[in-house]
A = this chain, B = another copy of it.
Amino acid sequence: MDEVKVIEIKKSIFEDNDKDADLLRKELKAKGVFLLNLMSSPGSGKTTTLIRTLNLLKDKMRVAVMEADIDSDVDAVKILRATGVPSIQLHTGGMCHLDAEMTRQGLDNVAMDGTDLVILENVGNLVCPAEFDTGAVRNAMILSVPEGDDKPLKYPLMFSICDIVLVNKIDVLPYFDFDLEKCREYVRMRNPRARVIPICARTGEGVEAFAQWLDDEVTAWKKQ
């Protein structure tokens, strides 16, 4: 029962990804499904954060998860086991990002009827996923303390397209040269509207604020 469906994603042939992403957003709106695109570097704590968030949201709404990875399926299995939330694994076959058509290939394997929220865990990479609109309603990212507070300076596009930045692993702030206020300032430089929430996925600190934000976003979007 712990086995998860693994989808081999094919390279998409659409030339105009922005147009296709807008189309996907309209299709999702018609079905009442909110898509969140979650991005980060490898090892920033996406899966642990997701598990905590799902456990806070799963009794309030119907959620499904798509885990994108180059070729393993450890994350989808981990999420299903820890939360019971339906999770599928998308294999990108070495590709470093997902565009809207690739996201659609994944969504074709999610039971959409009655689903309120689909969370896409994108490939672990601060560069490429930022360049391709997946069709998501909102983009979220995780920056972890050990990666450094200067990342918004070095990966401007990623920070500029994210609606929310979770600063994870704040429990290790004493051991790293990471200035939370500086980080907030750098994020603002890239995107003045982005919300920044410090969290510790390991202990759960701050994750409730993220879950609440997501809950509010889904509710607001459904009313639109």
Contact = CB atoms under 8 A, between A and B. Distances in A.
Given A72-B153, A74-B153, A151-B43, A125 B146 contact: no
B154 A125 contact: no
Contacts of A172: 146, 172, 175-176
A179 interface: no
The residue in A94, A124, A146, A157 that gathers the most chain B C-beta atoms within 10 A of its C-beta is: A146
A70 B155 CA distance: 7
Contacts of A145: 146
Nearest to A169: B146
Interface of A is mostly: loop
A27 interface: no
Interface stretch (A17-25, A28-36, A126-134): A126-134
A156 interface: yes
Interface in A130-159: 131, 144-148, 150-151, 153-157
A211 to B, nearest CB: 23
A41 interface: yes
A123 B172 CA distance: 26
A147 B96 contact: no
Given A96-B96, A96-B128, A157-B94, A147 B43 contact: yes
A69 interface: yes
Contacts of A217: none
A3 interface: no
Contacts of A156: 70-71
B96 A127 contact: yes
A72 B156 CA distance: 9
B126 A124 contact: yes
Contacts of A176: 172
A127 to B, nearest CB: 4
A7 B177 CA distance: 30
A41 B142 CA distance: 14
11 contacts: A41-B41, A41-B147, A44-B147, A94-B131, A94-B157, A96-B128, A125-B125, A125-B127, A146-B146, A146-B169, A171-B175
